[in-house]
Amino acid sequence: MENRIINFLDKNRGEFIEISQKIHQNPEIGNEEYFAAELLTNFLEGKGFSIEKNIAGHETGFIARKKSAHGEFPKIAFLAEYDALPNLGHACGHNVIGAISAAGAVALGEALDNLPGEVVLYGCPSEEGGENGSAKGSFVRENLFENIDVAMIIHPSSENSITKKSLAVNPLDFEFFGKSSHAAGSPENGKNALDALLHFFNGIATLRQHVTSDVKIHGIITHGGDAPNIIPDYTKARFYIRAATKEGCDEVTQKIENIAQGAAIMTGCTTKISSFQNRVDNLVPTKYFDELYVKTMKNLGVDVCTNSKKGMGSTDVGNVSHIIPTIHPNIKICDSDVTGHTHEFAHAAGSSKGDEAVILGGKALALLGLELILDEEKLKKVKENFKK
């Protein structure tokens, strides 16, 4: 069965590389991935998967399923991402992710002729965030992973490494409301919403001395006023507030919300605080699951780093990792000096190294899924390790 999976992906490598390349050549930002979603769903439907579209408030989300006639358990999930970054294209390599997950799911699905189980591929829009972003948060909230045993995804990187921890994120908009007036003729009649916003930024700058090293606070002004001779009556800022755990993230978020309230009081304004996308939880690795992945990759001739020191970002895969065992390892597509969210990384995602990662990653995920279907004790151990 292992040889069948490997041979299948080698024989059909062109199909999966073509998926990656087509998505790379047609980058779409979060929740606008109409081309990528249609490409993937049509392909999976042609491989015997049933398709459900428009998932949990995300028009470009989908769930693809293939069930065995020998029983529906265990249920092995693959997470596909396919959104791009504004002005950068696939600078996080989600074209590679989508193709890897499709390759792994289809290859494992081919083995269901002789095995019990169900392969489920979740098409997950807008991992990069934005309006109504981080769709996996919506999927978790709607209990769409109920009865799923494990979830798997591989992310392109400058190294081969196991699942890393990630930071939780609260994505918030801060709006300030004042009163407009002529800035020269009658400034005493105005309530300056821009002053409130600037006090807010200064308050956050002061807070940074008094937070733990894992906390990251970064934001931009999206509206600062309309004209210099008008006292601004409305301003807005957008922030990502990050920390190592969702509890720590909530704690620092409360402090920042207090700063916003204080800035409003200082200037006679009011403030409104709202989420513009799903909150993102920190990623919780399941150590034994990753150990199985390392062995699988080694059998494919690839060594995987188990002690990477590279910095942490955030991913809504973290939301999934809080409810079921999840792996999110990295696969190398570029040199170590190339970082994500750059034009150089976007180029790597469409290169021959990116193409090879599609096939290698697909093999690794399909073989690991096969191992968990065949060996009930290993699947049980993964779940027990997750609960710890």
Residue 53, pLDDT score:
98
3-state secondary structure 82-131: CCCECCCECCCCHHHHHHHHHHHHHHHHHHHHCCCCEEEEEEECCCCCCC
Does residue 245 have a pLDDT over 90?
Answer: yes
With cut-offs at 50, 70 and 90, classify the pLDDT of residue 85: very high
344 Cβ neighbours under 8 A, 6+ residues apart: 334, 338
Q: What's the pLDDT at 279? A: 97
Please state, in angstroms and as integers, the Cα–Cα distance from residue 134 to each residue in 5, 28, 33, 57, following that order. 31, 15, 13, 11
Estimate the share of the chain in helix, then strand, then coil, as percent rounded to the nearest 5. Answer: 45, 20, 35
- Interatomic CA distance for residues 134 and 326, integer angstroms: 17
Whole-number Å distance between alpha carbons of 259 and 120: 44
Average pLDDT across the chain, whole number: 97
Tens of pLDDT, residues 192-243: 999 999 999 999 999 999 999 999 999 999 999 999 999 999 999 999 999 9
Mean pLDDT of 309-329: 94
Q: Express each pLDDT in 371-381 by its tens digit.
A: 999 999 999 99
Distances (CA, A) of 101 to 16, 98, 351: 10, 5, 18
Pair 191, 231: CB distance under 8 Å:
yes
Strands 326-327 and 234-243: unpaired
**Is the separation of the CB atoms in 318 and 166 below 8 Å?**
yes
Within a 10 A sphere around the Cβ of 353, how many other Cβ atoms?
A: 16
147-178 pLDDT, tens digit each: 999 999 999 999 999 999 999 999 999 999 99
pLDDT of residue 15: 98
pLDDT band at 308 (very low <50, low <70, confident <90, very high): confident
Q: How far is the CA of 154 from the CAs of 97, 358, 380, in angstroms?
A: 6, 9, 22
Tokens read off for 132: 């109504």
Q: What is the mean pLDDT of residues 360-364?
A: 98
> What confidence category does residue 309 fall into, taking pLDDT thresholds of 50, 70 and 90?
confident
Band of pLDDT at residue 40, cut at 50, 70 and 90? very high
